[in-house]
């Protein structure tokens, strides 16, 4: 018996990247992508959606962008995607950036288009943002900068019913200043120092305003010690519990310290990273803490040409109020390259432990191997091919939890790509997973097959034909899902 339901759906995708150079070397461009489909698995809320839309002009000293823009004034200020405008200007050691727009779910929600199912178009507040940054090269290796941004949530953009389930709106601003310094110090090495400090204030609807500060400092030194290359780094980031920016890339209340080192010598690479973070979240009544230690090693000995050994150990301890947990990951790997062939094997283990919830304790063991090859010129000439690559991989995973559950999964995959002419390519991807519940006896499988053909038809015109079939949880009556997708696309570049 099967609960699978069939159906035929259509999907159309249009995209473009048009660039027009001027006589003085400046370039104007238009980039866009649009998807239309009646398949709700592809587009769940609208029959068509704009993926990307941007027009712009770039000169030797300036750039103006309108549409989808990404503003990244600084690390404390964060980076935010806007539907608006962004401009930059530089002259010698001086540079400036300005931006303004709306941070919205999509162009469709910004334009308040009607949804297919009648649900509210906007599911979150639209945030209106403006800001800018100035930087100046003070001297050799020293750059100073300042940033400012303002933001305001538009409560009227959503219905009262939706607004009732959202966090209160915010109106605020944030300003930062900082510097980046790079210098080569004789007999010591290359030194890099970055620092930034900022202050923000915001008002929440129905409450009084709040303000707080944030700061960060990073130091790095790279030097040579005899035949070895040594790099050390360290830093600290402190964010006030009431710090706010247009997009919250840093967690309020965060206090993180880190230190690390990298050593390279005669094919041996060692890396150590230590981090400790705490969050001052007074509303919880406790401060979550995290401490991690990560060690990596890779060795390609000169006396064993083509061999690479690798190892990883990562330990993460987390304290959340009365609960403590630990995650321990280990991995060993070996790779061998012989001409056009590459062979690799790896073993990975993951152990999870919880103090208050021991039934969630679990272990995962995974073993995998792979063979890959890219045919060299001699083989290609014999087979009358332009290019050919293929790969084959096998894996086995075993998971156990104290619940108790225990599953065993076998994984296999094959990939191949062949070019029979300069602009004619065939490819195939196959993948299967077989999972067995060792305690309950249940069995299910998942798999995918994808075939693709691409060829150039004429100058600037290209054809792509593809077929994809996937099936997940075959053997589990209520979760069995199968999908077949086939299509033809034409693209033209001018």
**Burial zone of 404 (CB within 10 Å; 0-12 exposed, 13-18 middle, 19+ buried):** exposed
Which of 391, 483, 475 is CA-nearest to residue 440? 475
Long-range contact set of residues 414-419: C-beta below 8 Å, sequence gap at least 24 = 414/390, 415/389, 415/390, 415/391, 416/388, 416/389, 416/390, 416/391, 417/387, 417/388, 417/389, 417/390, 418/385, 418/387, 418/388, 419/385, 419/386, 419/387, 419/388
Asked whether the predicted pLDDT for residue 301 surpasses 70, the reply is yes
**What does the domain layout of the chain look like in residue ranges?**
1-60, 73-104+117-492
262: tokens are 């990298």
Highest averaged pLDDT of the listed ranges 10-14, 244-248, 341-345? 341-345
Q: What is the mean pLDDT of residues 113-131?
A: 85
Virtual torsion, Cα 198, 203, 207, 211, nearest 10 deg = 10
What letter does residue 44 receive in the DSSP assignment?
Answer: S
pLDDT in tens, 67-102: 999 998 898 988 889 999 999 999 989 999 999 999
Total count of residues recorded for the chain: 494
Interacting residues of 125 by C-beta distance below 8 A, sequence separation 6+: 153, 154, 155, 157, 158, 163, 166, 169
Q: What is the mean pLDDT of residues 178-204?
A: 93
Asked whether the predicted pLDDT for residue 378 surpasses 90, the reply is no
pLDDT at 1: 32
318: tokens are 């987390």
**Residues above pLDDT 90, as percent of the chain:** 58
Cβ distance 437 to 407 under 8 Å? yes
Long-range contact set of residues 378-386: C-beta below 8 Å, sequence gap at least 24 = 379/340, 384/420, 385/418, 385/419, 385/420, 386/419, 386/420, 386/421, 386/422
Q: Which stretch of 32-36, 183-187, 193-197, 445-449 has the lowest confidence by average pLDDT? A: 183-187
Asked whether the predicted pLDDT for residue 341 surpasses 50, the reply is yes
pLDDT at 165: 65
pLDDT at 163: 64
Q: What is the mean pLDDT of residues 121-150?
A: 91
pLDDT in tens, 56-73: 999 999 999 999 999 988
Average pLDDT of the chain is 89
- Scan for tokens 């001052």, then name that residue: 280
Interacting residues of 89 by C-beta distance below 8 A, sequence separation 6+: 61, 62, 95, 96, 97
Cβ distance 121 to 157 under 8 Å? no
Between 23 and 270, whose confidence is greater? 270
Between 6 and 182, whose confidence is greater? 182
pLDDT at 234: 98
Q: What is the mean pLDDT of residues 284-288?
A: 69
pLDDT at 95: 96
Asked whether the predicted pLDDT for residue 386 surpasses 60, the reply is yes
DSSP string, 425-454: EEEEEEEEEEEEETTT--EEEEEEEEEEEE
Q: How many CA atoms lie within 13 A of 310 on its CB side?
A: 13
At the top level of CATH, the class of 73-104+117-492 is mainly beta
204: tokens are 């929440």
Q: What is the mean pLDDT of residues 110-124?
A: 82
Cβ distance 3 to 477 under 8 Å? yes
Asked whether the predicted pLDDT for residue 255 surpasses 90, the reply is yes
Backbone angles phi, psi at 179, to 5 degrees: -155, 150
Beta-carbon count within 10 A of 118 CB: 7
Cβ distance 438 to 408 under 8 Å? yes
d(CA 174, CA 99): 14
pLDDT at 24: 85
Q: What is the mean pLDDT of residues 241-257?
A: 87
Highest averaged pLDDT of the listed ranges 152-156, 338-342, 420-424? 338-342
pLDDT in tens, 397-417: 999 988 888 999 999 999 999
Asked whether the predicted pLDDT for residue 7 surpasses 70, the reply is no
pLDDT at 3: 43
pLDDT at 190: 94
**Burial zone of 103 (CB within 10 Å; 0-12 exposed, 13-18 middle, 19+ buried):** buried
Backbone angles phi, psi at 426, to 5 degrees: -120, 140
Asked whether the predicted pLDDT for residue 4 surpasses 50, the reply is no
Between 201 and 489, whose confidence is greater? 201
Asked whether the predicted pLDDT for residue 286 surpasses 80, the reply is no
Q: Which stretch of 173-182, 302-311, 440-449, 473-482 has the lowest confidence by average pLDDT? A: 473-482
Q: What is the mean pLDDT of residues 21-35?
A: 91
Indicate the pLDDT class of residue 460, thresholds 50, 70 and 90: confident
Question: Which strand (E) or helix (H) includes residue 117?
Answer: none
């Amino acid at each position: 018996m099967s609960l699978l339901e069939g159906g035929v759906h259509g999907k159309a995708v249009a995209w473009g990247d048009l660039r027009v150079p001027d006589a003085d070397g400046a370039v104007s461009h238009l980039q866009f992508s649009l998807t239309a489909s009646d398949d709700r698995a592809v587009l769940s809320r609208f029959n068509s959606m704009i993926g990307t839309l941007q027009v712009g002009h770039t000169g030797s000293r300036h750039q103006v962008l309108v549409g989808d823009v990404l503003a990244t004034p600084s690390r404390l200020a964060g980076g935010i995607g806007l539907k608006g405008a962004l401009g930059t200007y530089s002259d010698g050691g001086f540079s400036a950036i300005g931006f303004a727009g709306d941070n919205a779910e999509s162009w469709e929600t910004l334009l308040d288009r009607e949804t297919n199912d009648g649900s509210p178009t906007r599911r979150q507040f639209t945030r209106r943002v403006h800001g800018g940054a100035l930087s100046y090269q003070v001297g050799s290796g020293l750059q100073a900068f300042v940033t400012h941004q303002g933001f305001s949530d538009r409560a009227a953009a959503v219905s009262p019913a939706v607004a009732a389930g959202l966090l209160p709106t915010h109106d605020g601003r944030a300003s930062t200043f900082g510097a980046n310094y790079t210098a080569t110090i004789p007999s010591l090495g290359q030194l890099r120092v970055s620092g930034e400090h900022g202050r923000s204030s915001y008002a929440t609807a129905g409450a009084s305003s709040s303000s707080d500060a944030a700061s960060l400092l990073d130091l790095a030194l790279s030097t040579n010690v005899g035949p070895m290359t040594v790099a050390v780094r360290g830093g600290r980031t402190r964010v006030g519990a009431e710090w706010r920016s247009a997009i919250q890339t840093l967690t309020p209340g965060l206090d993180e310290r880190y230190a690390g080192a990298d050593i390279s010598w005669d094919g041996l690479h060692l890396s150590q990273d230590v981090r400790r973070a705490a969050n001052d979240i007074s509303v919880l009544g406790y401060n979550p803490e995290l401490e991690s230690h990560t060690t990596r090693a890779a060795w390609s000995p000169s006396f064993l040409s083509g061999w690479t050994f690798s190892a990883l150990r990562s330990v993460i301890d987390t304290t959340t109020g009365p609960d403590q947990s630990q995650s321990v990951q280990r991995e060993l790997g070996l790779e061998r390259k012989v001409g056009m062939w590459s062979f690799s094997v790896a073993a990975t283990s993951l152990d999870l432990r919880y103090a208050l919830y021991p039934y969630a304790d679990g272990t995962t063991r995974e073993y995998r191997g792979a063979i890959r090859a890219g045919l060299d010129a001699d083989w290609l000439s014999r087979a009358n091919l332009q290019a050919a690559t293929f790969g084959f991989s096998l894996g086995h995973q075993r998971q156990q939890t104290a619940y108790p559950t225990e599953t065993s999964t076998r994984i296999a995959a094959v990939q191949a790509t062949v070019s029979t002419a300069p602009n004619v390519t065939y490819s195939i991807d196959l993948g299967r997973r077989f999972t067995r519940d060792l305690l309950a006896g249940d069995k299910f499988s998942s798999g995918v097959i994808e075939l693709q053909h691409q060829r150039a038809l004429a100058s600037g015109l290209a054809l792509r034909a593809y077929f994809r079939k996937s099936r997940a949880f075959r053997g589990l009556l209520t979760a069995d899902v199968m999908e077949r997708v086939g299509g033809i696309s034409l693209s033209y570049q001018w």
